[in-house]
Amino acid sequence: MPNILLVGNGAREHAMAEAIMRSKEKPLLFSYMKANNPGIASLSAKTKMGSYADPSAIILFARENKIEFAVIGPEDPLGNGVVDALAEAGIPAVGPTKSLARLETSKAFTRNLVSKYNIPGNPQFKVFTDIDGVEVFLNKLESVVIKPDGLTGGKGVLVQGDHFATKQEALTLCKQILSESNSLIVEEKFDGEEFSLQCLCDGKTIVGTPLVQDHKRRFDGDRGPNTGGMGSYSLPDHSMPFLKPSDIEEGLEITRQVAAALWSETGSPYKGVMYGGFIATKNGTKLLEYNARFGDPEAMNILPLLKTDFVEICQHIIAGTLDKLKIEFEPKATVCKYVVPKGYGLPADHPDAASSKAKIEVGDVGKARLYYSSVDKKEDGLYLSSSRAIGIVGIADTLDEARLIAEEGVKAVKGPVDYREDIGTDALIQKRIDHMKKIRKE
């Protein structure tokens, strides 16, 4: 009966808590959260509220509760060195140290690492610490992407054609970013279809999990501002209908080589999740970015499908013996739809912005699974925050059945909320397939 510490308070961590508690080892869960997630709290023996920027508070909570190992959900505690502090206290963790978490916390670090170790997948790119040379490089590329070098919650990446039109506008944005941030990356924009490949890694072995496609844009038809992710789907064959087997193998191979490069570069094995945001292009699979954790919403697609005991997986990651474990997932389709406040992602002066802080009612979600994200549980009920509120997941033999289960679940949430109806529809998926056919000239 191991005592396990979970750090994090989102829907991703609710799905992680559920996976931990399904273990045959009958663990006791101790949860450290920056805000009270009622779903995680209901699964926990004890909870503690505190900041992710305070590793000493996390260590104290871990020591008081004789924690065997910790599992870290979000990127903030990783970037703040929580895994390093736990290691100093003799508590192993699933999650990289601060140095290894640069895989996510510094986009420049990862681009330079991939380049230094001759790993395929990088675009043409340059890292700038001042504006010298930016204009020349912008003009060398056909179409560009601009990224501040740091954590941006998935919302800081600026793409030509989506966020700005001309190179002149790109230059103005680069100047603005450099006035607020130490460095930025300018890179070539790829044309293709994106997919999330979340790999488990013990330092030397990586294990791919079912592929997922996330939907960043706020509104149906991929319109509106980028968000943290409005929902996602996965298929029973664990692939994506617009990918060739070689696209997936390339993503896995890039991740294998990056794991090895991280060890060579830092002298330490990476233990945790390497979540690659990849894009299939006419020239094969390219790397958009890595995250040092499970995706949110993507964790909600894959963790409920795990047939292998998640606690056992964590123990093998820590011991460096993932190669000894057969990791299996149910051959099912999943659709996750995030219920968000109507004003989510919209400017503060938008008429719907007031929807955050409103009260919601959650009825019977039927066959769907419900994962709480940013909700505030008060004595008189559940309140929205300004962020994503609840992840609703349908799981079934076919994508359409999974989508209908998620749709029915979403309708049980009453209040000033919104969601994307098109996630998991045949029409949206056909659009992706047609896009890839056109790119590949098939």
Amino acid sitting at position 354: A
Rounded to the nearest 10 degrees, how much is the dihedral formed by the CA atoms of 404, 8, 287, 318? -110
Residue from 154, 208, 272, 391 touching ligand GLY (CB under 6 A): that is: 154
> Does residue number 104 form part of the binding site for ligand GLY (CB under 6 A)?
no
* Closest to 212 (Cα-Cα) out of 121, 305, 123, 345: 305
Binding part of the chain for ligand GLY, among 120-128, 247-255, 291-299, 338-346 by CB under 6 A, reads 291-299
In angstroms, give the least distance from the CB of 279 to ligand GLY: 14
CA distances from 216 to 131, 213, 221, 324, 438 (A): 29, 10, 11, 36, 22
How many other C-beta atoms lie within 10 A of the C-beta of residue 204? Answer: 15
Of the residues 226, 291, 315, 425, which one makes contact with ligand GLY according to CB under 6 A:
291
Query: How far apart, in whole angstroms, are the C-alpha atoms of residue 277 and residue 13?
Result: 20
For the bound state, the minimum distance from the C-beta of residue 146 to ligand GLY, rounded and expressed in Å, comes to 18
Interface mask toward ligand GLY for 183-222; x: CB under 6 A: -------------------------------x--------
For residue 272, list its beta bridge partners: 201
Report in angstroms how near the CB of residue 79 gets to ligand GLY at its nearest. 14
The site that binds ligand GLY (CB under 6 A) totals a number of residues, namely 7
Cβ proximity to ligand GLY, 229 vs 276, nearer residue: 229
334 binds ligand GLY per the rule CB under 6 A: no
Antiparallel, parallel or unpaired: β 3-7 and 28-33? parallel
Specify the residue, 80 or 291, whose C-beta has the smaller distance to ligand GLY. 291
Q: How far is CA 16 from the centre of its chain?
A: 13
Q: Is 391:340 a contact under the CB 8 Å cutoff? A: no
Query: Which one of residues 18, 68, 193, 296 is an interface residue with ligand GLY (CB under 6 A)?
Result: 296
Q: Which of residues 220-239 bind ligand GLY (CB under 6 A)?
A: 229
Q: Which residue is nearest to ligand GLY (CB)?
A: 295
**Sole window of 169-177, 288-296, 320-328, 369-377 interacting with ligand GLY (rule: CB under 6 A):** 288-296
Taking CB under 6 A as the criterion, the residue among 74, 231, 269, 295 binding ligand GLY is: 295
Residue 299 C-beta: closest distance to ligand GLY, Å: 8
Binding residue (CB under 6 A) for ligand GLY from 13, 298, 407, 422: 298
Q: Which residues are bridge partners to 391 per DSSP?
A: 338, 371
- Sorted by sequence, the CB contacts under 8 Å of residue 325 that are 6+ apart come out as 308, 312, 313, 316
Contacts of residue 303, Cβ cutoff 8 Å, sequence gap at least 6: 15, 16, 18, 19, 294, 310
Identify which range of 156-164, 200-208, 290-298, 426-434 contacts ligand GLY by CB under 6 A.
290-298
- Applying CB under 6 A, does 8 fall inside the site for ligand GLY? no
Should residue 13 be labelled a site residue for ligand GLY when binding is judged by CB under 6 A?
no
**Helices and strands, counts by H and E, the chain:** 14, 25
In this structure, the strands spanning 69-72 and 93-94 are parallel
Would you call 313 exposed, middle or buried from its count of C-beta atoms within 10 A (0-12, 13-18, 19+)? Answer: buried
Q: Which residues would be at the binding site for ligand GLY (CB under 6 A)?
A: 154, 214, 229, 291, 295-296, 298
